[in-house]
Structure 1
Amino acid sequence: MTYNNKPNPDDRSDNVEKLQSMIHNTIENMEAAEESLAFTDSETQKEQIHAKNERRRESIASFRSEVKDEAKNQG
């Protein structure tokens, strides 16, 4: 039996838009998490929220770096 599996072509034309959308969504999640701090008295939850938002900041920095790389490669 012969398989004719071919990889999809590498279409990166919309990567910048996708990355910008991911940045936007991550920022919204950070803001929602910050707002939720007002509703908890648990120090554990507060620490978890702060830690997660720190990881989100790191992700945003990585996304922005990728946007620059993609924009440079497109133009």
Structure 2
Amino acid sequence: MRETVRAVIKPNSRKGPLVETLDDGTLQLYVRAPAVEGKANRAAVALLAEHYGVPKSAVSLAAGATSRFKRFEIDR
């Protein structure tokens, strides 16, 4: 089963790594990695994999590679 998740990324966060759910169901991801050369995206994939209890290979970035607002697909 494939699930699509909307997320807002907060790179360079001292609060992270942390996942919070916003009122509209969007996930707010706090990652320590900077938004340089895809480091924050890779950190977000790892964080979502841990959050959902799936391997990193089951999480893929579907849209928003250069945006704070992203869509991930998770194979469960």
TM-score, scaled to structure 1 = 0.29
Structure with the higher helix share, 1 or 2: 1
Structure with the higher strand share, 1 or 2: 2
Larger Rg computed on CA atoms: 1
